[in-house]
Amino acid sequence: MRNVTAGLFCSVDGVVEAPNLWQFDSFDEEVGAELTGMVSRTDTLLLGRVGYQEWAGYWPNADDDFGSFINPVEKFVASRTLTGDLEWQNAKLMDGTLEDFVAALKQTEGGEISVCGSISVVRQLLFAGLLDTLTLIVHPVIAGSGRHLFEPRDPVTRLTPQGSNNTSKGNVILNYGLRSE
């Protein structure tokens, strides 16, 4: 069975939206190594509609390290509003509900399935019990505003610590698994 992983940049005050606005000056070698490790294990990406539309406008023309990974990799997009064929290379809409699609995808052969930058998809998979690993890369900054991963009315959900690492620029990389009870 394949694992579903998610990694998000997070501010100390819990903001996970638009990290490009606040994480740039604390990005360091250790964060880069963490991301390289994630990429090396991943052969399928899951994106939400918003993330897909933002990234599809930029990454197809990028030829840096992440661009050379994300452009050819298999991408599935969760959306209730997009229809038809998607223009970004190897991107397809999910059939059916996110939960059913991912549960079936986990049963196929392959490497890790990673959720990239899609807060709603991470939340849905976490609370449906389909997310195997959640990595939060907490940057030493207070973002002040933006979307949080967790909301006041979320159910109590126990996570299992799977390791942590402090980086040279003050980031804390936290790895969690979903606790099965």
Q: Which superfamily is assigned to 4-178 in CATH?
A: Dihydrofolate Reductase, subunit A (3.40.430.10)
Cα separation values, 132 from 55, 63, 173, Å: 24, 30, 16
Which residues, in sequence order, are bridge partners of residue 138? 10, 172
pLDDT of 94 reads 95
User: How confident is the prediction along the chain (181 residues), in pLDDT tens digits per residue?
Assistant: 999 999 999 999 999 999 989 988 998 999 989 988 888 899 999 999 998 998 898 888 887 877 788 888 999 999 999 988 899 999 999 999 999 999 999 999 999 999 988 999 999 999 999 999 999 999 999 999 999 999 999 999 999 999 999 999 999 999 999 876 5
User: How many other C-beta atoms lie within 10 A of the C-beta of residue 82?
Assistant: 14
Please tell me the predicted confidence (pLDDT) of residue 65: 77
The CA distance from 68 to 89, in Å, is: 12
Strand-pairing partners, residue 177, are: 133, 160
Could you state, in order of their start, the residue ranges of all structural domains in the chain? 4-178
Beta strand ranges found along the chain (DSSP E): 4-11, 42-48, 74-78, 91-93, 112-116, 133-139, 159-166, 172-178
Q: How far apart are CA 60 and CA 96, in angstroms?
A: 26
- Quick one: residue 108, left, alpha or beta (phi over 0 = left, psi -120 to 50 = alpha)? beta
Whole-number pLDDT of residue 180: 64
pTM above 0.75, yes or no: yes
- What pLDDT score was predicted for residue 61? 85
